[in-house]
Structure 1
Amino acid sequence: APDRESESFESLYGLTLQMIDVSTFVADAGVDQAAISLAAITDSCAEAGVWRWNAIDVHLNALRLLRTVGAQLPAADRQAMLEGLYKVSHRKIDEL
């Protein structure tokens, strides 16, 4: 969305917390862990005062995939995806 730069960090963080709450019902899909990783990115963006839209978009796309087929993915593939999201979410702004 072209106007997403004007969104507050708190609004995305709040939505992410709602995702975490709801995702406990589909824990076998990995949605909960991906949402926690998205919360970590949102938190780091808020601390730095700058959006990392590329990392956020990667997480949103992964969340869509996990929501639809996450439970059917082989466990190793799902875990590899979640580990990749973790790496993205813990990358420091100055490392970009």
Structure 2
Amino acid sequence: MSEARLLKIKSPLARQVHEPGGRTVRDAEMRANRELEVHRAPVMAAIAAAVDELEAISAEASPDAGPRVYATASRIIDIGGYFDTGPLHEAVYSLCDVADRMIGAQMWHWPSVDVHLRALRLILAGDCRTSRSSAVLLDGLRSVAERINQLTAPPAD
């Protein structure tokens, strides 16, 4: 019986990683962010258009509009996912959560949606920057979400 031998094989990639030259991770990240920033204005315009769409759905207030609110709000999360949108992401996520709970409970409360939409407009007007105002808005949205959680929770046994 022969003795087992361990062979260390170095792949071409492993050799290249240890050679001098190339880009650092920091340089690659800065370059990627710079290239991505070119798309920021069109993305923010698309987000504003989606908020317009949400406002139109809310004004319609039809009983079957819940899934459309959820779909449109989740599209905002998808569109803005590559950018630092600060408090906007949390506000839209809250709207998705509230819409999902109301859809599941088959109970719709349009004022809760309207509060979220007003907060989204204010956050967009503030260029999606984190501030004391945005913190207050997010606290208010958390209160709205908690109230919806209470209203849509199944009855205790």
TM-score (norm 1): 0.80
- Distance apart, 1:9 and its partner CA: 2.0
1:48-79, CA deviations, whole angstroms, 9 ceiling, x for partnerless residues?
21111011000001101101115456x23211
Distance in 2 between residues matched to 1:19 and 1:88, nearest whole Å: 20
1:13-36, CA deviations, whole angstroms, 9 ceiling, x for partnerless residues?
1101011122332423x1111000
Alignment partner, residue 92 of structure 2:
35
Alignment partner, residue 132 of structure 2:
76
1:55/1:88 contact within 8 Å kept: yes
Alignment partner, residue 22 of structure 1:
79
Distance in 2 between residues matched to 1:72 and 1:44, nearest whole Å: 28
- Distance apart, 1:7 and its partner CA: 3.2
1:5/1:51 contact within 8 Å kept: no
The structure 1 segments of at least 4 consecutive aligned residues displaced by more than 6 Å after TM superposition are none
Distance in 2 between residues matched to 1:65 and 1:22, nearest whole Å: 19
The higher-RCO structure (CA 8 Å, 6+ apart) is: 1
Paired residues, what number?
Answer: 91
After superposing the two structures, state which structure 1 stretch, 52-61 or 62-71, moved more.
62-71
Distance in 2 between residues matched to 1:8 and 1:72, nearest whole Å: 30
Distance in 1 between residues matched to 2:78 and 2:118, nearest whole Å: 19
Say whether 1:93 aligns with 2:138.
no
Question: Gaps (5+ residues) in structure 1?
Answer: none
Distance in 1 between residues matched to 2:139 and 2:101, nearest whole Å: 18
Q: 1:54 aligns with which of 108, 111, 117?
A: 111
Higher helix share: 1
Alignment partner, residue 61 of structure 2:
4
Distance in 2 between residues matched to 1:70 and 1:37, nearest whole Å: 19
SS of the residue corresponding to residue 33 of structure 1 reads: helix
- What percentage of aligned pairs have identical amino acids? 27
TM-score (norm 2): 0.51
Instruction: Find the structure with the greater CA-based Rg.
Output: 2
